[in-house]
Structure 1
């Protein structure tokens, strides 16, 4: 096997190693396992930009006190159906888990519930959170903000976050799951290309001088393009303002702490659950399933998929076969694991 070949790592082994590294750097067992689970989900769904490669930054943030394990997470119900959550600088997935628990529980009585989260760290992929809501026969929505990495339509300076959005709609079978960034690509993917000395496609973004580039390292110092031109930019800045207003988080260039190990996290997260049974809408589920099957059948066999289909298939395959990691990522994980093993 060459150094560029991916290595297949057993999921259980990888999860244990990530948790060991976090625990060895001061995280509690439950927090470490929660964070490890969301990094594993990124890898299982073929999104390494939200996977193991983020571990060194998480470790750096732990060591500098920018992540507080065992933090006091404070919920404050603003209305019967809206809760504001101060994450206390906790691991992002830990605060998000509390937010999801809260909206699922409250939506069981009110029909709709919203959680507004600030003062917590990067939460990883959004899909697992909305899928958990959908498993409770509810529509799940999630929005989050990031550092200003995207240039506005017509500009070249990074002024807007990648601002992902996720929606899960339950059906009579597997849910429809949308999880997408409002940038042409995630910065994590650009950094992954840079680490492996790979070129990026033209159109992903511009360098620090505002020139279109295929150099991943140059792009990492420049700005990502919004997806879909002016429409993607419009959606991104609308989400920036929506999350900022609701959570009181920073906006644009003032958002920090999801990619670095230097600054407190100042982004915000919004989660929503809409319980279909409480609204008398469960009879729609078979109709949605039938419609999605009609869409799948509209093209050549296997050519048309529904959001969530491919990620679900990849997840099942990797859970059995193992997770492919680049030699660089595997070596970095081994180094971190040796540090705590010999401490």
Structure 2
């Protein structure tokens, strides 16, 4: 009998944490990975949510991720560090590197932390929110395996290398930019493929370089950069900082987690943390951010526009809604989770959303 597809976010997070503990992660790390996945689903970034559970587990089981690895600072100065993830699961590596960056930024005003030997680390917003809690501005970058051609090319060479920027505010919702350098994240095409849906024209090309709306053909081909040559250039810049500079893989040397079962991914990340208090008092900064945001939102609106939004505001509202109304998962993902539950002796049905809970308006 198939399960419903809507789940309570807290209970689903507990289920995922138990899964990763069964797979060999320490309790703290298992809970961190589960938190990272659920936060993505709550924000509506389904491509980086619990849909990734099965591939993370498979890479652990196949020895492509080392859940027991110790993460180490290999080289450092007052305001810089190079972190070696030693092939630990990506979000665990990312959070450890973030802690190094925030500590150094508090001490020295700014910190730059590079990471090598990591894996897919989830959404950039996950790290931004942690930095914002500590009144820090944070920039996060990561490279990824080849899914995007250079402008003028056909064959994938670059990843959809994401760029994320987080800035705290006072009463206003914080500024959170979390974007792939492709027109859309490849994960969205994966989700469309799982749902049997077409994708919009312009998202991707097939393996022969032809525009396509077929998600399966797109996955065999390439996604396209946002803004054409500009997105390509930004993706290349992120690859240089995250890969070339850190000693991680870059370009074709970042291994695909879905296809390469002989080598670790060797993903690279790059964190830039800024202590606001080293420039102006944090409360004054937050007041100025609130003023800035309110003045943007008060700008004259184009026809048929009800509200001007800032980056991250839609996702903030989704979190509120989904916490009250549950996380809706594709039936294929639910089936995968059921199989995982059976394998590890867990009960996914305990995480089903209680329909008696009060629903709120989107």
Could you tell me which residue of structure 2 aligns to residue 298 of structure 1? 299
| Distance change (3 Å), C-alpha of 1:299 and 1:320 | farther
After superposition, give the CA deviation of every residue in 1:206-254 in whole Å (9 maximum; x if it has no partner).
1111111111001100000101112111111121122223311112111
| Distance change (3 Å), C-alpha of 1:299 and 1:43 | farther
| Distance change (3 Å), C-alpha of 1:131 and 1:189 | same
Could you tell me which residue of structure 1 aligns to residue 124 of structure 2? 126
Could you tell me which residue of structure 2 aligns to residue 184 of structure 1? 183
Mean Cα displacement is larger for which, 151-160 or 254-263? 254-263
Mapped contact 2:138–2:274 kept (Cα < 8 A): yes
Instruction: Tell me by how many angstroms 1:281 deviates.
Output: 5.2
Question: Partners of 2:130 and 2:289 in 1: how far apart?
Answer: 19
Report the 3-state secondary structure (helix = DSSP H, G, I; strand = E; otherwise coil) of the residue aligned with 1:118: strand
Mapped contact 1:199–1:214 kept (Cα < 8 A): yes
Instruction: Tell me by how many angstroms 1:125 deviates.
Output: 0.3
Mapped contact 2:79–2:111 kept (Cα < 8 A): yes
* 2:43 aligned to which of 37, 41, 45: 45
| Distance change (3 Å), C-alpha of 1:54 and 1:113 | same
Question: Partners of 1:180 and 1:234 in 2: how far apart?
Answer: 15
Question: Partners of 1:303 and 1:5 in 2: how far apart?
Answer: 38
1:318 lines up with 2:322 in the alignment: yes
1:246 lines up with 2:245 in the alignment: yes
1:328 lines up with 2:332 in the alignment: yes
| Distance change (3 Å), C-alpha of 1:4 and 1:182 | farther
Instruction: Tell me by how many angstroms 1:258 deviates.
Output: 4.0
The answer for unaligned runs of 5 or more in structure 2 is 347-362
* 2:27 aligned to which of 19, 26, 29: 29
Question: Partners of 2:280 and 2:235 in 1: how far apart?
Answer: 33
Mapped contact 2:146–2:256 kept (Cα < 8 A): no
| Distance change (3 Å), C-alpha of 1:273 and 1:99 | same
Could you tell me which residue of structure 2 aligns to residue 70 of structure 1? 68
Question: Partners of 1:148 and 1:7 in 2: how far apart?
Answer: 32
CA RMSD of the aligned region, Å? 2.0
Could you tell me which residue of structure 2 aligns to residue 224 of structure 1? 223
Instruction: Give the count of matched residue pairs.
Output: 340
Could you tell me which residue of structure 1 aligns to residue 360 of structure 2? none
| Distance change (3 Å), C-alpha of 1:98 and 1:161 | same
Q: What TM-score results when the alignment is normalised by the length of structure 1?
A: 0.94
Instruction: Tell me by how many angstroms 1:25 deviates.
Output: 2.2
Could you tell me which residue of structure 2 aligns to residue 10 of structure 1? 8
Instruction: Tell me by how many angstroms 1:327 deviates.
Output: 1.1
Mean Cα displacement is larger for which, 254-263 or 119-128? 254-263
Mean Cα displacement is larger for which, 96-105 or 142-151? 96-105
The answer for unaligned runs of 5 or more in structure 1 is none
